[in-house]
Amino acid sequence: MSTASPYQRTILAELANLTVRQPAVLQALIGPRQVGKTTLARQLMASAEMPSVYASADAPLPPGPEWVETAWLQAELRASAAAGPVLLVLDEVQKVRGWSETVKRLWDRRQADGPDIRLLILGSSSLLLQAGLSESLSGRFFLHRCPHWSFSECRAAFGWTLTQWIYFGGYPGSVRFSDHVDQWKQYVSDSLVETVLARDVLQLQRVAKPALLRHLFLLAAAYPAQILSFNKMLGQLHDAGNTTTLAHYLTLLEAAFLVTGLPSFARGPVRRRASSPKLVLWNNALISALGSPSFDEAPALPEWWGRLVENAVGSHLLNGLPRAAFTVSYWRKDRHEVDFIVERGAALWAVEVKSGRGRKAAGLDVFRRRYPECRPMVIGGEGMPLETFFQTPPTVLFGGAS
């Protein structure tokens, strides 16, 4: 299957527009590894009507602040020669020691009397990149999010069916291997999972028990879209420490766009932080690559396929709903459960996924009696067709109420 498509993601137009229209603000792009952030930057460089300089800090040993200084000097030289604006792209900048302070100093100098440098910084660790932005560059940046590829994008770029996307997920670089499932699994495991864990989590964070973090990720991949108490996790993990350690490691995995532990829904500003998390992986490839069912077998296994479908719904919400405006959780009371709860201000939606496996039917009704203001949304079965849901941006699905 060819991947030689000149496909351009919709975020490219936004990047290009703001790079030209908002020169007083630097642009920051965060997102998972291998979803095309660097490709987007190169497409922006090719389409921009200005010279450009590109530098990447994605090296085994993190560089120091002189790396930023050197790239900036190159951009200044290009700007002087061109007598006009220059686009500077700093890739994986969160790996650079002291990057935010250096960028702040150079950016403020540029604002005062320096050449017209338009800056785009990229990063695959939301935790580190956003920390640097908020600590040193407050008010100086516009943050863009580059999520995992949606079904609509994979269908447009690669001609994928919904079944293919639910199983193989949305890593564009892995598409070339999808005709040979064993090779595809090896590629995702070695080139994606191990790289993210080694370079974006373990190398850049203080992790006292790296083996435990890996085992936690593998446990999440084995239990997609399932609610697991921390005590149950402790029982299945060797050298698991305590629940605080597991909660912290889940936060690190979320910052690398791998796994999120959704909280239990509760009204009010204080949520039940100690509730059992519902494990949702941000890309179904992370599940299928580490699981045993093949592409031909998985759709015929109702329980497993149902988990893949439900996880795909959860990942569609996580990838498509900005955290500043939306909150995603789940709800469970006694034997009753609602798969996902979406909140935006006072607006509330209860999302139930029907995927073919035997499921409880009363959870949605019980939740609606408790919270009559909620809007129900049934995905699959007699509800909204799966294709319709996955082809529609979540901001459109959940953006109509105030």
Separation of alpha carbons 242 and 156, rounded Å: 45
Q: What does the pLDDT read at residue 319? A: 95
Q: 227: closest CA among 102, 339, 326?
A: 339
Residue 153, classed as helix, strand or coil, is: helix
Q: What does the pLDDT read at residue 134? A: 78
Q: What does the pLDDT read at residue 114? A: 77
Q: 50: closest CA among 15, 71, 20, 8?
A: 20
Spatial contact of 168 and 298, defined as CB atoms under 8 Å apart: no
Separation of alpha carbons 271 and 280, rounded Å: 19
Residue 351, classed as helix, strand or coil, is: strand
For 357-361, which contacts have Cβ atoms below 8 Å and span 24 or more sequence positions? 357/302, 357/303, 357/305, 357/306, 358/302, 359/306, 360/335, 360/336
Spatial contact of 338 and 365, defined as CB atoms under 8 Å apart: no
Q: Please state the separation of Cα 185 from the chain's center in Å.
A: 20
Fold held by 11-145: Rossmann fold (3.40.50)
Q: What does the pLDDT read at residue 7? A: 86
| Sheet with strand 52-56: strands edge to edge | 52-56, 86-91, 117-123, 26-30, 141-145
Question: Residue ranges per domain, the chain?
Answer: 11-145, 151-397
CA angle, residues 148, 255, 187, in degrees to nearest 5 = 50
Residue 91, classed as helix, strand or coil, is: strand
Which segments of 113-225 does DSSP mark as H helices, in order? 126-136, 151-158, 162-168, 181-187, 194-195, 210-222
Q: 139: closest CA among 26, 30, 18?
A: 26
**Mean pLDDT (10-residue bins), the chain, 402 residues:** 64 90 89 90 92 89 91 94 92 88 91 86 76 82 92 95 96 93 94 84 78 91 94 79 86 91 82 78 96 91 95 97 93 93 95 74 89 95 94 89 40
φ and ψ at residue 347, rounded to 5 degrees: -75, 145
Structure-token pair, residue 65: 């602040």
- Which residue type does 202 have? L
Q: What DSSP string describes 206-235?
A: --S-HHHHHHHHHHHHHSTTEE--HHHHHH
Spatial contact of 196 and 251, defined as CB atoms under 8 Å apart: no
pTM of this prediction? 0.89
Spatial contact of 318 and 308, defined as CB atoms under 8 Å apart: no
